[in-house]
Amino acid sequence: MRGSVPRRIIAGTMDELTKDEREALKAFKKKLKATQLDEDSRLGRGPLSGSGGERIVAITPPAGHGKTVWETLATKGYLKRDGSFYELARWKEGNA
């Protein structure tokens, strides 16, 4: 399931996040899903077209939260940073 968005966060792992970080992570997941759905709905990306094997996995974080929130989420292992883009990190061993 390369590039898929985790459906849920394992119980207990969100306890270490502040309210602002939880809201930012929720907004990030919502924007990522909307971006993926938008890309999937484009013409030429149908199941019979032979294309569409790749999926968007990294996006710029949504507005409304400061850069420090995104850096903190990356430091805590919830996001991976790639330049100015972020992607959901694979869960560390023991959390998956």
Q: Is the pLDDT at 11 greater than 90, yes or no?
A: no
CB atoms within 10 A of CB 59: 17
pTM for the whole structure:
0.72
Residue 68 inside a domain? The answer is yes
Q: Which of 28, 11, 9, 40 is nearest to 74 (CA)?
A: 28
* Beta-bridge partners for 82: 85
Give domain status of residue 70, yes or no: yes
Domain count across the chain: 1
- Residue 69's domain comprises 58-96
Q: What is the pLDDT of residues 15-68, one digit of tens each?
A: 689 999 999 999 999 999 999 898 888 776 556 665 656 788 999 999 999 999
